[in-house]
Amino acid sequence: MLLLNAVFFLLNPALANAAAVVNIGGSTIIGTEFKPSNVEFFGGIPYAEPPLGNLRLQPPVLLKSLPVKTLHAENFGLACLQTDLPRDTVSEDCLTLNIIRPAGISKKANLPVMVWVYGGANVIGGTSLYNGTEIVAHSVKRGTPIIFASMNYRLGPLGFPQGAEAGQKKILNLALEDQLTALEWIQENIGQFGGDKSKVTVFGESAGATAIRVHLQETRIDKFARAVILESTFSRPTFGPEAHEAAWQLFVASIPGCEAVANTPNTIDCIRQADTQSILQGLNGGQVFFFNGSNYQAVIDGPGGFLVDRPSVVPAKSRLPMLIGTNLDEGTIFTPQDTRSPDDIKNFILSATSPPVVSPAEQEAIIDRALAMYPDNPALGSPFNTGNDTFGLDGEYKRYAAIFADFIVQSTKRTMIQNRMDVGAKVFAYLFTDPDGVLIPDLIDTPPAPVAHSTEVFYVFGTLAKKTHTAVSLSSNMRDYWISFATSLDPNDNHGNVNRPRWEEYTQQNKVLLELNGHDTKTIPDNFREEQISFFQNNPDAFRR
């Protein structure tokens, strides 16, 4: 949450200077021009009916036309209902998107489009936290202009309903439906903004990247995109909706007026009749907070859904080209700083994978083997490359952080890459290791700060907190790579900094990463902690993959 608040501060839009206008059907959208950056912004554009009343806990309904003749779109739309942002910045009427384009282009420009999907553990986040102005401005400067878009989607129990009743009524994974509906709206309307609907790249970080990963299990996304970028995607154990029945019922019991139907199979009608303030009280009482986000993940929704079964059982089908990567110290911000014992780590893995496909005894033996692969040696733990320094914490902290990263993030990346290659898709992969451009207050009080989960976002969006020469240069190069991939399906075009290191394709014969570091960006083999990470990959039944 610290990082998210920092993003909100850094990415708040510049002062607007002039109007920008686009006509769609019989409606006029009035945006604004950011003259210092020479881009035009259109915010809070509704792409679906408001998910209120009887449309609450229902799939989104695409808007074929705007609900008003004149839409004032000078500001971002409100974020979807959640507890971690101020009350006046969130709403249930939140299914909106934003578009940022180079100023002065015509609707015949046919520019490639980059569509951002935010992260936040599926319980927090919003488009106003991620202003793509610097990405668009950089694309113009390098001579390959693009359009940036982003969408709000439902969160927590409203976006990822849990429980047997939700499964029976087939209202699962609604947030993923929101995302596809926003992409469908973009397909139908981006031409009016000067975009090319056949050149859409969907990119996201953390839960946003993980949503894209789920979309790639099937091929519905192929109708709306031609490439994807996944930053720090993760995978938690995959279950059916009944696995988190208790969390769902706690949410229901916390909604004023719905207490009587909690722990019954008749909760959804009551939720649909509640007002928004009562729903918000339910989120608070149901403990739907950032670090409890694991209760609200995509669930197995069966034939015709997003997850027919566990990903390890049903291979991914989409063949979209992919750029994918992770950060050096993915586990540090999620690891409890009061970690003292190997049992803390074991209990985390058990809680994250219960119930397993294998027997409990088999699972426990496998977890013991996994722990044995990570010696109690601070020099081997995360933050990596920090020697025996434990920053005043118990040495088990660094061990836990290393295991968390490999179990949840690094093994997911390698599995995703293998799946892409299995279906013949092009892959480019990275490891982000630069420590210089981001401040992470209160994470670890003693320097050096880790290269934590989400730190690369500041580089991609060009909003560094610490503008060292090397970090600024790397940030510019990363935008070059991302934009090049979106415009040409190859990060190595001859625009921008043409001296940036070549990014080699990841293949069966050439399993390499581009290490993104302002001091020395270079190609490295993708073999770090190979035995440990492979162990998590090769035991999907124990870890519910």
Catalytic site residue from 37, 128, 139, 206: 206
Cβ neighbours for 290, distance < 8 A, ≥ 6 positions apart? 1, 4, 84, 120, 121, 123, 124
Cβ atoms of residues 213 and 285 within 8 Å: no
The β-bridge relationship of strands 227-231 and 322-327 is parallel
Cα angle vertex 499, ends 497, 502, to 5°? 105
Find the helix packing angle between 360-372 and 530-537, rounded to 10°: 170
Question: In 3D, which of 45, 306, 70, 23 has the Cα closest to residue 186?
Answer: 45
Q: Please give the Cα distance from 534 to 540 (Å, whole number).
A: 11
φ, ψ at 116 (rounded to 5°) = -95, 135
Tell the residue number behind the tokens 């609200």, with chain if given. 296
Cβ atoms of residues 293 and 123 within 8 Å: yes
Cβ neighbours for 84, distance < 8 A, ≥ 6 positions apart? 1, 4, 123, 124, 289, 290
Question: In 3D, which of 264, 8, 236, 258 has the Cα closest to residue 122?
Answer: 236
SS3 track for 29-60: EEEEEECCCCEEEEEEEECECCCCHHHCCCCC
Q: Please give the Cα distance from 403 to 466 (Å, whole number).
A: 29
Question: In 3D, which of 51, 324, 294 has the Cα closest to residue 175?
Answer: 51
The yes-or-no answer on residue 206 being catalytic is yes
Reduced to 3 states (helix: H, G, I; strand: E, B; else coil), residue 359 is coil
Q: Please give the Cα distance from 302 to 239 (Å, whole number).
A: 11
**Phi/psi zone of residue 176: left (φ > 0), alpha (ψ -120 to 50 degrees), beta?**
alpha
Residue 264, burial from CB neighbour count under 10 angstroms (0-12, 13-18, 19+): exposed
Find the helix packing angle between 174-189 and 207-215, rounded to 10°: 80
The residues annotated with a catalytic role in the active site are 206
